[in-house]
């Protein structure tokens, strides 16, 4: 019998106070099927919501039992009870809301991507810093069980020095959930792989070079990329593969991760991608040199949607309480966006790109 059963305490760490008032701007799909169920389960206090489509906000309030629907962003920002503004509108529109909310002294949880253009993302971060409010980005995959457990195992030394990492997702994505994304100029990396990019940065740090091939399947009507093959190179010799295809019609879709190191190997599945947005729990197994031949299997019972969505909000609340930075702070997110835009530059220029080449 193996003598190792690591304790994997992977659930989000809650704040001390559960009464931080939240006001939500934009009440579309993701707020209804992820933010609000997650906040209810965690016990967070949503004071009120607003949407430029008033009927949509009314429907959302009714469905989730929210007390107030505000007629405008201005009205929401005037509420002293609201300490945190949770923004879930389209990326191009986010900076204008950040500007107003920061000026009103509200802390901010922005949706990913922080912006559709790197300079606008930098401006959002600077606006928050100047107003001395906290700004976090909803890169909640860092709290998905498989990723968080991988981090805990790495922190405890089970992996040793990382040598290879891969995330491979071949699925059939229903873009009709997001027609505005499918019609835009960026699809796969900007709206989907950005989660893998952020999670891999969280686990492994920043790559020195990225190289991406972007393409789409025959007959697709988008002008953007729906399948990408990416490699990252680190100065340490670590190599990363991100292999994502959203047009898998075959009946054996898969979403897997694998981390190899000098001391062990961790592998598993990303449950959400087997049936978005319902999903299923992740799986995770690891094998250590300390116990060769024995594969430890973690029992994971939480889901990316909604459970992981409590993570960025809890981290923001904790940062407000103790004066630290949120785990997915705006400043940290600029580095995720540098990788995102470096991958687009790589596709366009057919070369390896350093993330630092992306600047405001």
Ligand X SMILES: NC(=O)c1ccc[n+]([C@@H]2O[C@H](COP(=O)([O-])OP(=O)(O)OC[C@H]3O[C@@H](n4cnc5c(N)ncnc54)[C@H](O)[C@@H]3O)[C@@H](O)[C@H]2O)c1
Which CB sits closer to ligand X, 27 or 336? 27
CA 81 to chain centre: 27
CB neighbours of 311 closer than 8 A, spacing ≥ 6? 12, 140, 142, 143, 327
Q: Is 324 in the site for ligand X (CB under 6 A)?
A: no
Binding mask 132-151 for ligand X (x = CB under 6 A): ------x-x-----------
Residue 198 to residue 265: CA distance in whole angstroms:
21
Q: Is 286 in the site for ligand X (CB under 6 A)?
A: no
Residue 46 to residue 238: CA distance in whole angstroms:
43
- Give the length of the chain: 360
Q: Is 264 in the site for ligand X (CB under 6 A)?
A: no
Q: Is 328 in the site for ligand X (CB under 6 A)?
A: no
Which CB sits closer to ligand X, 313 or 317? 313
Q: Is 28 in the site for ligand X (CB under 6 A)?
A: yes
Site for ligand X in 67-126 (CB under 6 A): 88-91, 93, 111-112
Angle between helix 118-131 and helix 330-349 axes, rounded to 10 deg: 170
Residue 323 to residue 318: CA distance in whole angstroms:
8
Could you give the strand order of the β-sheet that contains 68-69, starting from the edge strand earlier in sequence?
68-69, 45-50, 21-25, 84-87, 107-110, 135-137
Residue 319 to residue 313: CA distance in whole angstroms:
10
Q: How far is the CB of 73 from ligand X (least distance, A)?
A: 6
Site for ligand X in 186-215 (CB under 6 A): 191
Q: How far is the CB of 219 from ligand X (least distance, A)?
A: 24
Maximum CA pair distance of the chain? 62
User: Which listed residue (14, 21, 56, 129) binds ligand X by CB under 6 A?
Assistant: 56
Residue of 79, 143, 133, 66 whose CA lies nearest to 106: 133
Q: How far is the CB of 177 from ligand X (least distance, A)?
A: 7
Selected range binding ligand X among 49-57, 142-150, 210-218, 348-356, rule: CB under 6 A: 49-57
Residue in the shown chain whose Cβ atom is closest to ligand X: 28
User: Which listed residue (23, 26, 184, 306) binds ligand X by CB under 6 A?
Assistant: 26
Q: How far is the CB of 258 from ligand X (least distance, A)?
A: 22
Q: Is 29 in the site for ligand X (CB under 6 A)?
A: yes
Cβ proximity of 314 and 13 under 8 Å = yes
Q: Is 51 in the site for ligand X (CB under 6 A)?
A: yes
Selected range binding ligand X among 46-54, 119-127, 163-171, 227-235, rule: CB under 6 A: 46-54
Which CB sits closer to ligand X, 90 or 234? 90
Helix then strand then coil, in percent of the chain rounded to 5, is 40, 25, 40
User: Which listed residue (178, 209, 234, 274) binds ligand X by CB under 6 A?
Assistant: 178
H/E element holding 255? Answer: strand 254-261
Q: Is 30 in the site for ligand X (CB under 6 A)?
A: yes
Cβ proximity of 162 and 254 under 8 Å = no
Q: Which residues bind ligand X (CB under 6 A)?
A: 25-31, 51-53, 56, 88-91, 93, 111-112, 138, 140, 178, 191
């Amino acid at each position: 019998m193996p003598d190792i059963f690591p304790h994997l305490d992977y659930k989000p760490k809650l704040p001390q106070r559960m009464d931080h008032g939240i006001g939500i701007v934009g009440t579309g799909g993701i707020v209804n099927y992820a933010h609000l169920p997650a906040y209810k389960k965690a016990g967070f206090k949503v004071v009120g919501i607003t949407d430029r489509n008033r009927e949509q906000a009314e429907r959302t309030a009714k469905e989730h039992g929210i007390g107030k629907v505000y007629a405008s962003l201005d009205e929401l920002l005037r509420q002293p009870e609201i300490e945190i503004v949770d923004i879930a509108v389209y990326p191009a529109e986010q900076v204008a809301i950040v500007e107003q909310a920061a000026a009103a002294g509200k802390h901010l949880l922005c949706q990913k991507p922080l912006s559709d253009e790197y300079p606008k993302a930098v401006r959002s971060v600077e606006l928050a810093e100047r107003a001395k409010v906290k700004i976090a980005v909803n890169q909640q995959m860092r709290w998905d069980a498989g990723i968080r457990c991988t981090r805990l195992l790495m922190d405890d030394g089970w992996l040793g020095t990382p040598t290879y990492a891969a995330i491979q997702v071949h699925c059939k994505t229903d873009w009709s959930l997001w027609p505005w994304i499918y019609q835009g100029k960026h699809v796969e990396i900007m709206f989907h792989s950005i989660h893998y990019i952020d999670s891999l940065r969280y686990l492994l740090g920043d790559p020195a070079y990225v190289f991406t091939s972007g393409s789409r399947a025959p007959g697709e009507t988008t002008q953007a990329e729906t399948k990408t093959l990416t490699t990252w190179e680190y100065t340490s010799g670590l190599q990363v593969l991100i292999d994502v295809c959203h047009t898998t019609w075959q009946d054996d879709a898969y979403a897997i991760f694998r981390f190899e190191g000098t001391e062990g190997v961790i592998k598993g599945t990303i449950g959400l991608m087997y049936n978005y947005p319902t999903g299923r729990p992740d799986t995770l197994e690891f094998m250590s040199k300390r116990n060769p031949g024995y594969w430890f299997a973690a029992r994971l019972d939480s889901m990316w949607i909604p459970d992981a969505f409590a993570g960025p909000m809890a981290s923001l609340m904790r940062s407000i309480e103790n004066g630290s930075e949120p785990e997915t702070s705006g400043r940290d997110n600029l580095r995720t966006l540098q990788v995102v835009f470096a991958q687009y530059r790589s596709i366009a220029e057919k070369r390896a790109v350093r993330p630092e080449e992306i600047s405001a």
